[in-house]
Amino acid sequence: QVQLVESGGGSVQAGGSLRLACAVFGYASSWPSMGWFRQDPGKEREGVAAIDTNGGRTYYTDSVKGRFTISQDNRKNLIYLQMNSLKPEDTAMYYCAATYRPSFRLSHPGDFAYWGQGTQVTVSS
């Protein structure tokens, strides 16, 4: 059973940076593909970034391209989301997710079977 624990959220002013981390526990012999999602109350969960562990290919939603970077450190069982040039509209609860599906869609949270509890990011103007 894969377990995910996020950290690194907080409050920052617009234009600032934060780095989120996700610790991965209990994975099977292979490392899963990983994603970061975010959700505001009353809104649908939105895919932000993902990394395909098979090839290391990364995916981003358009609104964060050039500002956010997803990376992984397999030795430390960690996934990172570096967020730069933050905007107030980036405010949300951010979730780490994992999947063993051979293919997934960042726009479909249902493709990811394992989820962390989330970490809050608040960007003030």
What band does 31 get if pLDDT is binned at 50, 70 and 90?
A: confident
**CA atoms of 50 and 79, how far apart (whole Å):** 10
Q: Confirm if 38 and 115 have CB atoms less than 8 A apart.
A: no
According to the model, what pLDDT value does residue 79 have? 95
The per-residue pLDDT for range 64-96, each reduced to its tens digit, is 999 999 999 888 889 999 999 999 999 999 999
According to the model, what pLDDT value does residue 28 have? 72
Sign of CA dihedral 30, 111, 6, 19: positive
What band does 113 get if pLDDT is binned at 50, 70 and 90?
A: very high
